[in-house]
Amino acid sequence: MNTWNYTNKPDFILMGLTDSKEIQLVLSVLFLLIYLVTVLGNIGMMLVIRLDAQLHTPMYFFLTHLSFLDLSYSTAITPKALENLLTSNKSISFIGCFTQIYFFVLFAATECFLLSSMAYDRYVAICNPLHYTFVMSSRFCSALLTVSYVLGAVDSTVNMICMGTLDFCKSNVIHDFFCDAPPLIALSCSNTHDIEITIFVFAGSTLLLSLITISVSYVSILSTILKINSTTGKQKAFSTCVSHILAVTIFYGTLIFTHLKSNKSFSLGKDQMASVFYTIVIPMLNPFIYSLRNKEVKCAVSRVIKKRERALDK
């Protein structure tokens, strides 16, 4: 049986989500609209935070990079998915496939650690407000951000090294709309047990470490909020965390469902829908989650617009 890997590399074929031309057209329109909203929403969030001095705080520093990561990993997936839906070309090169996996894992893993940093920021703000400015200094925030990117890069590199050892002899047809580890491992004719264990350990460690940080932070936050005597004070403290809690729940829920299980058990139905949600939909949702429930962002948008109008009047 002939095998092939990176030294002998035919293109992969991305089968997408459906064979129906009508449904493909509907999905292409839907994905294009979602991607445009994702681009505009995340770039808009970054610009508002950049242009409004009152948002130059640690929380919005992290939120700027969250928008960048959402935009980046959506861009790693969606344009190719749109090309496959709109044209008869379903192929993706071997290098292109593994490049897509690398950057997707890089940005997704980095986002896990960034969400942890944001949870710690909320912990300090609510549980230790008098020392907030000192603890969450610009240098410390930059260090947290750097660590997030470094750990994301380590996770992605290990993932890529493991995937690079695979041989394929069954098929080059990927029953998904983008290159991801589970469907690729399911195609491999190699003994993937050690590879699956390694990827599971690193992916699990990323999720576990970040979830522990988030959980400990929010247990402390909840304990502090319950000690506040004023109902208004409780509501105000809790409102600063609602957006982050919602974003964490949606992001981690779909990641855990899709990745923390045997890659050989890849399911065309449920796993594909979960993949659509966390690769295409979630990057669109985060700007809305953090803006629609955030008075500071709404006021900042208003200030930026008014400032722009005054500049045009002059």
Q: What is the pLDDT along the chain (314 residues), one digit of tens a residue?
A: 555 555 556 688 888 887 888 888 898 999 999 999 999 999 988 988 888 888 888 999 999 999 999 999 899 999 998 988 888 778 888 888 999 999 999 999 999 999 999 999 999 999 998 999 999 999 999 999 999 999 999 999 999 888 888 888 767 888 888 888 888 888 888 788 888 888 888 888 888 899 899 999 999 998 988 888 877 777 777 777 888 888 888 888 777 766 555 444 444 555 677 778 878 888 888 888 877 656 777 777 677 777 766 666 66
How far is residue 195's CA from residue 259's CA, in Å, rounded to a whole number?
Answer: 14
One-character DSSP codes across 210-269: HHHHHHHHHHHHHHHHHT---HHHHHHHHHHHHHHHHHHHHHHHHHHHHHSS-GGG--TT
For residues 243 and 62, give the distance between their C-alpha atoms in angstroms, rounded to a whole number.
13
Q: How many angstroms separate the first and last alpha carbons of the chain?
A: 74
Among residues 30, 275, 278, the alpha carbon closest in space to that of 175 is found at: 275
CA separation for the pair 137, 164 (Å, rounded): 40
Beta strands in the chain (DSSP E): 12-14, 91-92, 173-174
Query: What's the pLDDT score for residue 85?
Result: 86
Q: What is the pLDDT of residue 312?
A: 64
- Cβ atoms of 80 and 92 within 8 Å: the answer is yes
pLDDT in the model for residue 266? 47
What pLDDT is recorded for position 67? 93
Q: Which domains does the chain have, with CATH numbers?
A: 12-313 (1.20.1070.10)
Structure tokens belonging to residue 196:
């699956």
What's residue 144's pLDDT? 95
Quote the pTM value: 0.86
